[in-house]
Amino acid sequence: MDTLPGPVDRSTKYAVQCVALLIVLLASNSPAAEVHLLDGFHIGWRDHPHRVRKLGFEMGADGSTRSTLVGGPWSDGRHLQDKANVQVYRSSVQHAGVQAHYGSTPWMFASGRQKPAFATPAIASVNVRADVDALTFTERTEWVVLIRGFEIDTDCTHTSGFTTKGFGVCIGPPEVLHSSQPDKIQIQFTATQRVEAARLPMRRRPEKYTVRCRIHYMLVGLRSGHVTRSTKQTIVRTPGGMNQPLHAVPRRISVQGQPGHTWAAIGLTGFNIQLNPNKKWFGGRYLRDFWVHNRDCAYNSTTGRMEFVNDAGFSNRSLLAYETETTCATSFALLQASDL
C-alpha cells in the first residue's frame, strides 16, 4: 500500500538550498564562452564571371566555415574550369554578458519570373521558434538574431544556374514567448531570403525559375545590455568595358547606442544587393564578385557611439563587362553589454 511521504527535516531543506545556490554561483562565475560574430564575406571567381547555381557558406559555433560556389558549365569543368574563392570574415568576443545559440532555418522553396512586364523575385520566408536553455541564458534582458551564413541552390529548374539581378537576406527582431517547458526560453523571429534572376542582352532564358534556400543564424542574449538596429544603403555604379578593376566604395558609418556600456560589437542582420533596379530589360549579370563586409570598428563607451567601415557590392568584371548600377543595403545591430 502506498503511503504519503513524511515531513522533510530542516537539515535536508538547508542542504537542498545550498546545492541550488552552488549551481547558480558556478553558472554565473564560469568562464565566458567565446562567441564568433560574422563580419561579412566575399564570394567570387578567380578568372571569369559565371552563372549562379549553388552559392553560400556557414560559420560554425567554433568559428570554422564551410562554403560552396558552383556556376555554369564554363566554371565546373564541362567546358572550362574556374576556381571559386569564398572568404568569411569574423570577430571573436568573450564577455560574461554575451551568450549565443546556433540554428538554421529549414530548406525553403520560392519561385520567380524573369519576364520584364511581370518580373518578380523569388522570396522565401519562415517563422522560426527557437528553444534555448533557461539556465544558460539566465538574466538575459536583450535579444538579437544575427546571420552566420546562407545558401542558394537553383537545381530545381536551372541545373546550369542562371544570371542574377540580386540577393537578399533579412532577419527580423526577436520576440520572447512563453514556453511550455519550464527549463526553456522560446524566441520567435522571421527569416526571409530573396533571389532574383534576370536576362542578359542577347541571351534568352526560361521565364520561370525556382530556388531552394536557407539561412544559418545565431541567437544572442545580452545581460545588462542594449541592442540598436539600423540599415544603411548606397548606390554603386560600375562602368562597363574591358578588364575593369574591382570597384568598391567603402563608407564610414556611425551608430549611436546607449552611453556607459563598456563592451560593444557590430552584428550582421541582413543585406540586399539589387542590380540595375531601374532597368526592366536585360538587367541580369554574370557573377564575378559579391561581398558584404563590416570592419575597422571603433567604440566610445562614454558616449555609446560605434563607428565602422561598411563595404558591399557586386561585380561582373571580365574581358568585356556590362555597366552595372548596384543598390547595396546592409542591416546590422549594435550590441552593447556592461561588466558585471
% of the chain residues with pLDDT over 70: 88
Confidence of residue 201 (pLDDT cuts 50, 70, 90): low
Q: Read off the pLDDT of residues 132-159 as tens digits, 9 standing for 90 and up.
A: 998 888 888 899 999 999 999 999 999 9
- Mean pLDDT, all residues of the chain: 88
Task: Note the pLDDT of residue 202.
Answer: 59
Task: Note the pLDDT of residue 19.
Answer: 43
Q: Report the distance separating Cα 171 and Cα 173, nearest Å.
A: 7
Task: Note the pLDDT of residue 207.
Answer: 81
In sequence order, which ranges of the chain are alpha helices (DSSP H)? Answer: 10-29
Angle at 53 between CA 47 and CA 59, to 5 degrees: 85
Average pLDDT estimate for 193-204: 81
Confidence of residue 199 (pLDDT cuts 50, 70, 90): confident
Confidence of residue 241 (pLDDT cuts 50, 70, 90): confident
Entry pTM? 0.88
Task: Note the pLDDT of residue 24.
Answer: 43
Average pLDDT estimate for 188-194: 98
Residue 6 has pLDDT above 60, yes or no: no
Give the amino acid at 145: V
Residue 2 has pLDDT above 70, yes or no: no
Confidence of residue 288 (pLDDT cuts 50, 70, 90): very high
Q: Report the distance separating Cα 33 and Cα 136, nearest Å.
A: 11
Q: Report the distance separating Cα 10 and Cα 22, nearest Å.
A: 18
Average pLDDT estimate for 214-242: 93
Nearest residue to 210 (alpha-carbon basis) of 250, 161, 156: 156
Task: Note the pLDDT of residue 9.
Answer: 54
Q: Read off the pLDDT of residues 76-134 as tens digits, 9 standing for 90 and up.
A: 878 889 999 999 999 999 998 899 999 999 999 999 998 766 789 999 999 999 999 98
- State the burial class of residue 183 (Cβ atoms within 10 Å of its Cβ: 0-12, 13-18, 19+): exposed
% of the chain residues with pLDDT over 90: 68
Residue 7 has pLDDT above 50, yes or no: no
